[in-house]
Amino acid sequence: MFGRSALFATASAGLLSISAAQSATNGSVITTDSPFYGQSPPTYPAPEVRRDGLFAESVAKARALVATMTLEEKVNLTGGVTNPGNGCGGNIPAVPSIGFPGMCLQDGPAGVRGTDFVSGFAAGIHTGASWNRTLAYSRANAMGGEAYRKGVSVALGPPVVGPLGRIAEGGRNWEGFSNDPYLSGALAAESVHGIQDAGVIACTKHFIANEQETNRIATRDGNKTYQSSSTNMDDKTLYLWPFADTVHAGTGSVMCSYERFNNSYVCQNSKLINGVLKTELGFEGFVVTDWFAQHSGVASSLAGLDMTMPSGATYWAGNLTQAVRNGSVPEARIDDQATRILAAWYELGLDSDSSPGVGVGMAPDLLAPHTIVDARDAADAEVILGEAIEGHVLVKNVNNALPLKEPRAIALYGYDAKAPDYNAPSPGLSPWSISLQSTDATSPICGFYGLVASACPPFPINAPNGSIWVGGGSGGNTPTYFYSPFQAFSERAFQDGTQLLWDFENVNATSTVYGNTEACFVFINAMASEGIDRSGLHDDFSDSLVNNIADQCSNTTVVVHNAGIALVDAYYDHPNVTAIILAQLPGQDSGRALVDIVYGEISPSGKLTYTVAKNESDYGAILSPYRPSAQDAIYPQDDFSEGVYIDYRAFDAQNIEPRFEFGFGLTYTNFTYSNLRISANSSATLSQYPTDGIIPGGHADLWDVVYNVYADVKNTGEAIAAEIAQLYLGLPGDGQPIRQLRGFDKQWLNVGETVTMGFPLRRRDLSTWSVEAQQWELAPGGTYKVYVGASSRNLPLTGSFTLGKSGNGTAGGYWK
Ligand code: BGC
């Protein structure tokens, strides 16, 4: 069995095993979902928000207000309406009688999307690669500030912690930080704090196991309806870990996802919402649907759903009022829905008179003249550039090809060096509004509308019409400007008097290289979007472009802007490819950040948050999304049978050598590791299972630090640079992954400097989910292996500790 400790988790009555889904169908074509009933156990009633919790004061205010409201008014708070007065993606109507001005919900995870005078922040994948908690906080705080000034009440991400990145070709993996749950959760928690400290409700999405775009929404073909894919898993695999981090951080809302889970739509899945989220994790905020992800009225309300978007009219509104009047839904449930929504609103101070008006800066029609609300703050410029820099990952650098050494002549190649040809809004779901200017948006848009997959053309692997700084879809952004690599190199050439040559036109990749060129840069990309999964992790056109230039240029640096995993093996061994940068998705300051790095103004400091394989096939069955057969076409059954063995856990378990392992990244200096210290926290007492009550995020004692690990890291090279030291644990017990990330620390080091990196280990970091006990469990007498180093496969320091077996005492000694 798999350790839920690694990724994931769940509560009381366990979820059924996957085999139940398979055997229920008996091999015949599935035309009804009745054989699956009960696979997601009914969990009722919906828990009322607690009055003595994290949001206690706000809950008290909300309850007092709700007590004054009519049933209709309360129901109105629970469903979206169209508001012609603003351009918000979702609106909750005002309730004038109680002085509630309404709410604006707007994407997204990399900045306020689809409007003007906002910044284009680096995408999640890029921020993840910085492994920088402070930066993750500052980025989210800056983003929250922009949302606040635009009158956005609920920022729909960050954080995105689902998809986590199970499927290597997943269309939306780039929206989140990493496919490792520990790293994802750590940066997601910072993001919640960052957004909410700016006075905006964070919406953590997409709950839960929303791991692919293919069949994410129900589709109609003539008179046939194909249901969303059902993500089937046992109760150890549940992708919960990073959600727990965000609940612990106090996220005001959580978005339930499109797909079915163990054959029950997530937004009406009582086990997941009432059971896991609101009971096991003690979530005190409200649950909102993904757009059009509601599939029932009474059932979804009883299952714990609090708000539906973008419209209440389909299932709730008058229907919900009627459901209360005829006794199908207790009014107390509506009270709790309204209380949770208003409590989050109070908690973030959105009731304040000084709050900007709801949606005030979200012009409904950008093509018509409108009042400018400039949401940007000049003070955020450093954060925006800083995150852009820190997410670049240098993965090859032969003989210190980089940084450049005052080159006289540089040549640039490739379709990804220059800005796309337009940055101009057009109405509706346009390529501009979802950051798809550099490619053909047909297939993602087709996916948005839920057309059958066969009607949507495959999505091109690269975006050939210009550089990409973010992926496509609701996670995209619409910056005021885009600083392309070409522009940044041009400015540097102006400054230094460099001869700059370029050829972005030669689409057959047979460009010829100017004789005195000292360094060639080839820009390619790997695009991904919401709405459709990727159709590969490399493309032949880009690879041959690189090889053709490298054949002619002895010092070729490849820059890949990648919205997900990008393979490099087609050119990795080319002797003239002297450097490769996985430049990911840096946001609006892309070119500036890159030029600062390649000219050595700052050392690269990013590391990979996923595994780059040598071949696509190394990812095995979870390379590509699940595509149903004729048997399960109507009720697709996507079994997560690999358990927690995704990415490096799978590569480690199967002993597959990656091209670049999880956690890998180079810089302009070298580091050595020494002096591993492991100490038990003498004030932490332990028992096999947690004993404290539930706080947001789970049992309070799961969050206690029980061990501390330290290691010394020395900068032995010749450049100031940052190191990201990583701690992995080998947990005791059968069936555990060989290693799992359980700590990281990033610090900048001067030449010759030694610093101590610290890794606090919480009880949850040492625990695995026990199916029998339905609890997080420590291993009495178990030996925990400790590995510290520079990546998941470069771990020079090893040690271990053993938990005590009995008695009362400390972590290293005894048990309660
Ligand atoms: C996406 C969400 C997004 C919503 C509103 C949906 O298609 O899945 O992530 O927040 O649209 O734009």
Looking at residue 500, what is its pLDDT? 98
CB atoms within 10 A of CB 804: 17
Span 477-494, average pLDDT: 98
Residue 810 has pLDDT above 70, yes or no: no
Cα–Cα dist 781/775, whole Å: 18
For 540, residues 6+ apart whose C-beta sits below 8 A from its C-beta are 570
Give exposure, 324-336, as e/b (b: 16+ Cβ within 10 Å): beeeebeeebbbb
pLDDT tens-place string over residues 137-167: 999 999 999 999 999 999 999 999 999 999 9
Give me the mean pLDDT over the 30-55 stretch.
94
* Residues 63, 332 contacting (CB under 8 angstroms): no
- Ligand 1, atom 8, lies closest to the CA of 290
The number of the ligand 1 atom at minimal distance from the alpha carbon of 258 is 8
Q: What is the pLDDT of residue 128?
A: 98
Would you state the structure tokens that stand for residue 87, as one six-digit string?
């351009």
Gap from CA of 258 to ligand 1 centroid (Å): 10
Distance CA 454, CA 79 (A): 33
pLDDT (mean) for 719-735: 96
Region 184-197: mean pLDDT is 98
User: Ligand 1 mean position to 400 CA, how many Å?
Assistant: 43
Instruction: Report the separation in Å between the CA atom of 255 and the middle of ligand 1, taken as the mean of its atom positions.
Output: 9
Task: Please calculate the CA angle 731-736-742 and round it to the nearest 5 degrees.
Answer: 45
> Is 696 within 8 Å of 54 (Cβ atoms)?
yes
> Measuring CA to CA, which residue among 602, 376, 592 is closest to residue 483?
592
Write down the catalytic residue from 116, 234, 290, 596. 290
Instruction: Supply 654's token pair.
Output: 């199967």
The token pair that represents 589 in the structure block: 């300051």
Counting ligand 1 atoms within 8 A of each CB, the residue from 115, 195, 201, 474 with the most, and so the one to mutate, is 474
pLDDT of residue 497: 98
Lowest pLDDT segment from 27-31, 238-242, 351-355, 698-702: 27-31
Instruction: Give yes or no for residue 22 having a pLDDT over 70.
Output: no
- Distance of CA 304 to CAs 91, 268, 294, 379, 746, Å? 20, 7, 12, 41, 40
- Taking CA atoms, 166 is separated from 220, 234, 436, 649, 738, in Å, by 27, 16, 24, 11, 18
DSSP E strand boundaries for 77-138: 90-92, 103-107
Structure token digits, residue 507: 């689409």
Residue-wise DSSP of 176-206 = SS-SSHHHHHHHHHHHHHHHHHTT-EEEEEE
Q: Does the pLDDT value for residue 507 go beyond 80?
A: no
Residue ranges, comma separated, of all CATH 3.40.50.1700 domains in the chain are 384-638
Atom of ligand 1 nearest to the CA of 157: 10
Q: Do 68 and 306 form a contact (C-beta atoms < 8 A)?
A: no
Q: Count of CB atoms within 10 A of residue 614's CB?
A: 15
d(CA 92, CA 72): 13
Residue type for position 749: L
To the nearest 5 percent, what fractions of the chain are helix, strand and coil? 25, 20, 55
Model confidence band, residue 547 (pLDDT cutoffs 50, 70, 90) = very high
Encoded tokens for 306: 């609090």
Least confident of 405-419, 477-491, 510-524, 735-749: 510-524
Domain 669-803, CATH number (from 2.60.40.10, 3.40.50.410, 1.10.3720.10, 2.120.10.70):
2.60.40.10
Nearest CA-CA partner of 680 in 486, 545, 815, 509: 815
What is the predicted pLDDT for the residue at 16?
A: 45
| 523 DSSP β-pair partners | 559
Residue among 524, 528, 429, 430 nearest 472 (CA): 528
Mean pLDDT of 709-722: 98
Give the pLDDT confidence score for residue 684 in this predicted structure.
73
* Residue 584, φ and ψ in degrees, nearest 5: 50, -130
Residue 805: partners with Cβ closer than 8 Å, 6 or more residues away: 780, 781, 814, 815
Residue 28: per-residue pLDDT: 87
pLDDT at 735: 87
**Whether residue 452 has pLDDT greater than 70:** no
Residue for token pair 């996923």 = 610
- Give, using CA atoms, the residue closest to atom 5 of ligand 1: 291
How far is residue 181's CA from residue 259's CA, in Å, rounded to a whole number?
A: 20
With 50 as the cut, is the pLDDT of residue 1 above it? no
C-beta of residue 126 within 8 angstroms of C-beta of residue 118: no
| Amino acid residing at 333 | R
522, two tokens: 């080839």
**What's the chain's average pLDDT?**
93
Closest CA to 524 of 544, 553, 502, 499: 544
pLDDT-derived band of residue 288, with 50, 70 and 90 as boundaries? very high
Q: What are phi and psi of 74, to 5 degrees?
A: -65, -45
Q: Where in the chain is the domain with CATH 2.60.40.10?
A: 669-803
C-alpha–C-alpha distance, residues 208 and 84, integer Å: 32
Least Cα distance to 154 among 213, 106, 100, 224 occurs for: 106
Gap between the Cα atoms of 637 and 262, Å rounded: 9
Distance 171 CA to ligand 1 centre (A): 13
> What is the CB < 6 Å shell around ligand 1?
89, 107-108, 156, 205, 290-291, 474
Q: Show Cβ contacts of residue 381 under 8 Å, excluding neighbours closer than 6 positions.
A: none
pLDDT at 7: 40
Q: Which of 88, 256, 291 to probe ligand 1 with, by most ligand atoms within 8 A of CB?
A: 291
| Mean pLDDT along residues 26-55 | 92
Identify the pLDDT of residue 814: 54
* DSSP 8-state code for residue 686: B
89-98, 373-382, 675-684: range with lowest mean pLDDT: 675-684
Question: Quick one: pLDDT band at residue 682, thresholds 50, 70, 90?
Answer: confident
| Residue 770 vs residue 198, higher pLDDT | 198
pLDDT confidence bin for 806, thresholds 50/70/90? low
pLDDT tens, residue by residue, 368-387: 999 999 999 999 999 999 99
C-beta separation of 255 from 175 below 8 A: no
The CA–CA distances, whole Å, from 687 to 10, 85, 174, 738, 804 equal 20, 56, 39, 25, 10
Q: What is the percent of the chain with per-residue pLDDT over 70, rounded to a whole number?
A: 94
Q: Indicate the top mutation candidate among 205, 210, 290 to test ligand 1's pocket, ranked by most ligand atoms within 8 A of CB.
A: 290
Please give the Cα distance from 489 to 559 (Å, whole number). Answer: 13
Which atom of ligand 1 is closest in space to residue 160's alpha carbon? 9
* CA 291 / ligand 1 centre spacing (Å): 6
Amino acid at 771: V
290 in active site: yes
Of 33-37, 462-466, 493-497, 634-638, least confident by mean pLDDT is 33-37
DSSP H helices in 11-123 = 18-25, 56-66, 71-76
Residue 656, pLDDT above cutoff 50 = yes
Residue 126 backbone dihedrals phi, psi, to 5 degrees: -75, -45
Taking a C-beta distance cutoff of 8 angstroms, is the pair 435, 470 a contact? yes
> How many angstroms separate the alpha carbon of residue 290 from the centre of ligand 1?
6
The H-or-E segment that residue 260 falls in is: strand 260-261
DSSP string, 493-524: HHHHT-EEEEE---TTS-----TT-SEEEEEE
Q: Kindly state the DSSP code that residue 402 receives in the 8-state scheme.
A: -
Is it the case that residue 453 has pLDDT exceeding 80?
no
Ligand 1, atom 7: closest residue by C-alpha? 291
543: its two tokens: 């690879």
Q: What is the pLDDT of residue 4?
A: 35
Query: Rounded to an integer, what distance in angstroms lies between the CA atom of residue 643 and that of residue 621?
Result: 12
How far apart CA 764 and CA 143 sit, in angstroms, is: 30
Q: 785 by DSSP, 3-state: which?
A: strand
How long, in residues, is the chain? 816
- Confidence band of 450 (pLDDT split at 50, 70, 90): confident
Give phi and psi for 490, each to the nearest 5. -65, -45
Min mean pLDDT across 1-5, 542-546, 589-593 is at: 1-5
Tokens representing 169 are 């070709």
- pLDDT of 492 > 90? The answer is yes
CA distance 666 to 85: 50
**Highest CATH level, class, for 384-638:** alpha beta
Query: pLDDT tens-digit profile of 99-117?
Result: 999 999 999 999 999 999 9
pLDDT at 224: 86
Distance CA 497, CA 693 (A): 66
Q: How far apart are CA 471 and CA 533, in angstroms?
A: 12
The predicted-structure confidence for 400-410, as pLDDT tens digits, reads as follows 999 999 999 99
Confidence of residue 509 (pLDDT cuts 50, 70, 90): low
CB 307 within 8 A of CB 76: no
